[in-house]
Amino acid sequence: MEFVRIGVIGLGNMGTSHASYIHNGSVIGASLGALLEERPKRIQELKQHYGDTVPLFTNEDAFFESGLIDAVLIATPHYSHPRLAKKAFAAGLHVLCEKPAGVFTSEVREMNEAASKSGLVFSLMYNQRTKPIYQKLRELIQEGELGTIRRMNWIITNWYRSQSYYDSSNWRATWAGEGGGVLINQCPHQLDLWGWLIDMEPTRIRSFCSFGKYRDIEVEDEVTAYLEYESGATGVFITTTAEAPGTNRLEVTGTKGKVVIEDSQLTFWQLETSEPDFNDSYTGGFGEPKHRLIDVEIVEEATEHQGITQNFVHAILKGEKLIAPGEDGIYGLTLSNAMQLSTWIDNWVSLPLNEAEYEKQLTKRVNESKGKKETTETTLDVSGSH
C-alpha cells in the first residue's frame, strides 16, 4: 500500500474538521476516501461542500463494503465508538477513533481484543500527547529526574462551555446520548495524560461530581477527585465547564523535585539532595532541601490532531510506532467511570473497577434520561476549543 484512503464516520464538529485537513492534503500519504453521515440536513450541507469529489454514504453497511477505503476515522457520539471500531476491524480496515474510546470499559475491552486479533493499526485521537511540553515532562519522570512520584494535582477548568454549546446537538450532555459530561467529553485528554505521564494506576478513587450544577444538562459539569496509589502517591483532579477565566495547572512532585505546567510554560525545580536523604541527615529543625531552577528548553510546536492522523497513516504505511495506541483508551476511561461511580454510591471506588456495578448505575440513569425537547443541531467551529 502506498496511499491510505480514510473514510470519516460522523461529520459533526470534529468529523468535519478531520475531513477538511485530510481532504486538503495536510496528511502525507492519505486521502479522503469516503464520508458516512446519516442526518438529512447535514447530508445536504456535505453535498454542497464536496460535490462529487468525495463519495458520501448514508448507509453504514454500504460504506464498509464499498472498497473505497483502507481505514476509518470514527467521530460519532461516544456510545457508538466500540461498535463501529469492531465493525471496521471485521471489514479489514484500520481504525483511528476520536476520544473517548467508549462510555464504559467492558465494551472498550472487547474493542481492544478485536483490534489485537485483527492485526490492524488502531489509534486514538489523543492529540495532547503530541505536545512537546507533556512529552518533556514524561521524559523527566521516566528518566528519574523527579525521583519517586509522590503527588500529582491537575486543575483543568479552562473548558468553558455555554448553554448554547450543549444545545447544539440532541445527544450532548444526556446520559442516553453521551454517557457523561466534562469527564467523558472534554477531559479524556487529561485523564489519558494522567496515566501516560506517571505510568501508574491508582488503587482507589473518591470523587465528588455535580450534575447539571451550572447548566441545564443531565451530566457532570463539575468534578473534584482524590486518587491514591499503592506506592503512597496521591493525586487531586479538579475540572468544570463553567468557570471563567479557567485554569490549566498541572503539578507533579517527586522526591527529587517538582514540575509545574501552566500557561504553556514548564517550570522544573530540582532538589540538590533528595527529600528522604535530607530528612534522614538534617538535624537543624527548621529548614528544607535546597533547590535550583532548571532551564528546560521546549521549542517544537505541537502537531495536534493532524499529527495523530499523520502518525496513524505512517504506522500503516511504514510501521511507525503509534503515539496514542488505541488500547490505551481504557485507562482514562477507567478513571472517568470510577469518578462517576464514586459519586453515585457516595463512597470510595477500588480498582480494578467493578464494571458490572458501573454499568448498572449508568443504565439506571440512561433509562431515566429525559433527553432534550429542543435542539438546534448546529455544526460548530472547533478551532481553539481543545
235, 152 contact by CB (below 8 A): yes
Q: How confident is residue 373, by pLDDT bands cut at 50, 70 and 90?
A: low
pLDDT of residue 379: 60
Per-residue pLDDT tens for 131-141? Answer: 999 999 999 99
Mean pLDDT value across residues 250-267 = 97
Residue 184 cell numbers, joined: 467523558
pLDDT of residue 381: 54
Is 60 exceeded by the pLDDT of residue 383?
no
% of the chain with per-residue pLDDT over 70: 96
Is 60 exceeded by the pLDDT of residue 158?
yes
Nearest to 154 by CA among 179, 136, 137, 142: 137
Q: Name beta bridge partners: 254.
A: 149, 257
Residue 73 in 3-state DSSP? strand
Cβ count within 10 A of residue 360: 12
The greatest distance separating any two alpha carbons of the chain, rounded to the nearest whole angstrom, comes to 79
Contacts 24+ apart (CB under 8 A), 361-369: 362/103, 362/104, 362/175, 362/179, 365/175, 365/218, 366/175, 366/176, 366/179, 368/175, 369/174, 369/175, 369/176, 369/177, 369/218
Is 80 exceeded by the pLDDT of residue 236?
yes
Per-residue pLDDT tens for 45-88? Answer: 999 999 999 999 999 999 999 999 999 999 999 999 999 999 99
pLDDT of residue 299: 84
Q: Domains in the chain, ordered, with CATH?
A: 4-127+303-325 (3.40.50.720), 129-301+332-368 (3.30.360.10)
194, 154 contact by CB (below 8 A): yes
Cβ partners under 8 Å of residue 341, min gap 6:
349, 353, 354, 357, 358, 361
pLDDT of residue 385: 53
Cα–Cα distance, 37 to 340 (Å, whole number): 31
Mean pLDDT value across residues 259-278 = 97
pLDDT of residue 152: 98
